[in-house]
């Protein structure tokens, strides 16, 4: 599985306790953001979230207007492996 640097950063952030949320407007547009524990939210492209979902690394609670995405067991394993082998 090939993950972009942005996807890797998202996984590592989630593993460190950040939240990944999609905020939906009334017209249906989604804004994806990582909410770190100690800093301001950071925008994430939908393509990154879609890739993480497709690889089974995150799952969502599908709430309106702000869904929260959580690491799956596989996502946590990948994040731990990334933390051991990267210098992001």
pLDDT at 87: 46
Going by pLDDT thresholds of 50, 70 and 90, the confidence category of residue 86 is low
pLDDT, tens digit, 9 for 90 and up, residues 53-63: 999 999 988 77
Q: What is the DSSP string of 17-80?
A: T-EEEEEEPTTS-EEEEEE-SSS--EEE-HHHHHHHHHTTSEEE---SSEEEEEE-HHHHHHHH
pLDDT, tens digit, 9 for 90 and up, residues 61-74: 877 667 888 899 99
Thinking of the domain 5-85, which architecture would CATH place it in? Orthogonal Bundle (1.10)
If you average pLDDT over every residue of the chain, what do you get?
88
Does 31 have pLDDT greater than 60?
A: yes
């Amino acid at each position: 599985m090939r993950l972009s640097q942005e996807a890797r950063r998202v996984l590592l952030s989630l593993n460190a306790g950040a939240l990944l949320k999609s905020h939906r407007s009334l017209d249906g547009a989604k804004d994806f953001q990582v909410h770190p524990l100690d800093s301001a939210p950071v925008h994430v492209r939908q393509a990154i979230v879609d890739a993480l979902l497709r690889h089974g690394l995150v799952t969502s609670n599908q709430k309106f207007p702000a869904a929260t995405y959580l690491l799956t067991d596989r996502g946590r394993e990948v994040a731990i492996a990334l933390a051991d082998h990267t210098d992001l």
